[in-house]
Structure 1
Amino acid sequence: MNRTELADFLRRGRARLEPSDVGLAPGARRRTPGLRREEVALLAGMSVDYYTRLEQSRGPRPSRQMLTALARALRLTDDERDHLFHLVGEQPPRRDPASAHVRPGLLLVLDRVYDSPAQVVTDCGTVLAQNALARALIGDVLARPPRERNLTRRFFLDPAARELFPPEDHPARARDHVAHLRAVAAARPDDPEPAALVAELRAASEEFARLWDTHEVSLRHPATKRFLHPVVGLLEVDCEVLLSHEDHHHLVLHTARPGTESHDRLQLLRVVGLQDMAPRGAVG
């Protein structure tokens, strides 16, 4: 592990980004250009002390999961991400269609969406990135262990996940999850990821197994969905799905129609979400 080169690479990556580049409010005037250390730590889901030690060439060897989080936080290209892995002495992830590395251009679009919940999701349902309002609506999915970031797995295996939706909507949501996963599994027969997810859910969930046997097929399409938030109440939103066919990534947007009660509640949720994202004790 080349700690000196790693520290320099991280500092330069942080200096070239502004808060608006990553969906954060600018805050008070900054003495130095770029993001603050605590902002990078927040985006990467690590402690400020841990990140600071990396920049000071005295941190421990980051895990592969942490390197992926840093690459996403610093909006690294594929080549830059590979360089980051090499500096730590790790082999970069394969550049396959189902890669968990989100292209900087797609992250830039995500960061520009500030008034609607938005997230990047793989075609298998794994959340790769969220904006602040998506975290306020459904929780910080990226703070969970990797296996718990898949929305389909959580819907069928985690009872708490269904509390996000009105009970009367559960049957339709379950059918949508299964029909979409069946379409993905058929389109990628040689990919072990969808096959493994199907095998796991068929064994662990009677509901999933029953729905799987109906052989319904449907990819994600624009639709109206309802969320039951514990603070602002019931939200009815329009779900738009923008596809990135090259990487099998979807940018999912939830918007509420202006003038509706759901729109007002979403704006209230935005205020709550931004308050939760505000860095504490910021220093330049």
Structure 2
Amino acid sequence: MSRPENSLGNALRGWRARITTEDVGLPATRRRRTAGLRREELAHLAGISTDYLLRLEQGRSQRPSRDVVASLARALQLSTDETCHLHLVAGLRPPTPPTIPHQMPPGVQRLVSRWGNIPVGVFSASWTLLTWTSMWAALLGDPSLRSPEERNLVGAVFNEPSDTGRPLFPVEQSTPEFKAALVVDLRITHGAYPHDEDFRMLIDEVMGNSEEFRELWSTPALGSRLGGHKRLRHPLVGEIRLDNDVLKVPDHDVRIVTYTAEPGSSDEEKLEYVRIAATQTTLPLSSG
């Protein structure tokens, strides 16, 4: 009979090998025969006995408690995905994050700061706009003039339009395909953050305002194609067609939304005209 695979032990040994004493604030020691932390060092950081860690790594113990797994994940400095994997190989359900993150990852912020000539917006998993480039504001209207609640795409798409102003997202967001894809993505978010009260309130509000949303929410559909070709009408250049891409950053659960034009096209010329005009004056909000 073949020996059962020791997934938990293999994972722990691999992660232990990549961590150095400097990574965890331990004093450096003489040259080591193997890379990474010693077993007794990891055990100390995780608050468990060296013997127990040995048994976990050798596969003689394969069902650690949730507290032990959480301690090992912290000591090993695991990413979100790695922490989920550790729970799975330990026979546990991965932890559920309490709330949707609304912080901008530093790497994403650096990317956005370098994309000033491209309309780029970064959204949370609940589709609230977190940050944007100057070209996003020039093309779609300045989000800084709106309240945080008005910067949520879900409300803008499904709630009744306000009489007090023009929409902040004037692109072709009303197509059935886009709405269905958006709701699929929202259901994924709901499954990932079942305890987020703000998100639940958002869904309840849209449920109460939109029969279309209620029907889509109850429809068991998979797949979420949020990008594609979009069309908008800008006050300076008229109709402009753009390619829309949605990039997800899993560890921080944000969505990077970009609008670009086909090189050499009249739409690229229009987008460039909008960029130049934005440097000279404040544009009115697009009317859709």
Asked if Structure 1 and Structure 2 have the same fold, meaning a TM-score greater than 0.5 normalized by the shorter chain, the answer is yes
1:67-216 pair list within 5 angstroms: 98-159=100-161, 160-161=166-167, 164-165=170-171, 170-216=175-221
Note closer, same or farther for the CA distance 1:166–1:99 as it changes in structure 2 (3 Å cut).
Answer: closer
Offset at residue 98 of structure 1 (A): 2.7
Q: Deviations over 1:132-175 (max 9, x none)?
A: 110011112233112111011111125243882359x5333322
Note closer, same or farther for the CA distance 1:218–1:230 as it changes in structure 2 (3 Å cut).
Answer: farther
**C-alpha distance in 1 between matches for 2:188 and 2:268:** 33
Question: Which stretch has the larger CA shift, 224-233 or 256-265?
Answer: 224-233
Offset at residue 234 of structure 1 (A): 1.9
Preserved contact between residue 126 and residue 149 of structure 1 (Cα < 8 Å): yes
**C-alpha distance in 1 between matches for 2:193 and 2:254:** 14
Preserved contact between residue 229 and residue 244 of structure 2 (Cα < 8 Å): yes
Percent identity between the two aligned chains? 29
Preserved contact between residue 117 and residue 135 of structure 2 (Cα < 8 Å): yes
Preserved contact between residue 181 and residue 194 of structure 1 (Cα < 8 Å): no
Equivalent AA in structure 1 for residue 102 of structure 2: A
Preserved contact between residue 115 and residue 133 of structure 1 (Cα < 8 Å): yes
**C-alpha distance in 2 between matches for 1:248 and 1:163:** 21
Q: Deviations over 1:30-66 (max 9, x none)?
A: xxxxxxxxxxxxxxxxxxxxxxxxxxxxxxxxxxxxx
| Structure number with larger C-alpha Rg | 2
Q: Deviations over 1:106-147 (max 9, x none)?
A: 112101113220011112110010101100111122331121
Q: Deviations over 1:210-251 (max 9, x none)?
A: 222223343355422222223222222222223222221122
Preserved contact between residue 181 and residue 226 of structure 2 (Cα < 8 Å): no
**C-alpha distance in 1 between matches for 2:267 and 2:216:** 31
SS at match of 1:203: helix
Preserved contact between residue 155 and residue 161 of structure 1 (Cα < 8 Å): no
From 262, 268, 288, give the equivalent of 1:257.
262
Q: CA RMSD in A?
A: 2.7
Preserved contact between residue 99 and residue 195 of structure 2 (Cα < 8 Å): no
Preserved contact between residue 98 and residue 247 of structure 1 (Cα < 8 Å): no
**C-alpha distance in 1 between matches for 2:249 and 2:98:** 14
From 219, 237, 243, give the equivalent of 1:238.
243
**C-alpha distance in 2 between matches for 1:266 and 1:133:** 9
Segments of structure 2 that go 5 or more residues without pairing to the other structure are 1-96, 284-288
Q: Do structure 1's residue 274 and structure 2's residue 274 form an aligned pair? A: no
SS at match of 1:208: helix
SS at match of 1:231: coil
Offset at residue 97 of structure 1 (A): 6.2
Segments of structure 1 that go 5 or more residues without pairing to the other structure are 1-94, 279-284
